[in-house]
Amino acid sequence: MDKWRRKYAWLDHIMLAYERYTERYGTHYAAAVTYFSFLALFPMLLLGVSVAGYVLARNPEQIANLKDLISDNVPGTLG
């Protein structure tokens, strides 16, 4: 591998980047960012549903339109 790294500068660059990434626990940071980003989706989804419920509570015709839209676009019995 050392022979190839000396011959190909781009391979050496990739290997150095990988070594730096692993020395600084890059996989742990990537996992943490993914985990917390995924967990942040639930409060945002709950906020969106709450706002939609507040807005739609005053508009019964919009609720009927939304139900029709969902039933037309979602396949099967789920719609």
Q: How far is CA 70 from CA 7, 61, 65, 74, in A?
A: 59, 14, 9, 6
Whether residue 67 has pLDDT greater than 80: yes
pLDDT in tens, 14-61: 999 999 999 999 999 999 999 998 888 989 999 999 998 898 888 889
Helix%, strand%, coil% for the chain, nearest 5: 85, 0, 15
Q: How far apart are CA 59 and CA 53, in angstroms?
A: 10
Instruction: Write out the two tokens for 39.
Output: 């967990």
Report field, pTM of the whole predicted structure over 0.75: no
Output the pLDDT for position 6.
Answer: 87
Q: How far apart are CA 76 and CA 79, in angstroms?
A: 6
Confidence of residue 79 (pLDDT cuts 50, 70, 90): low
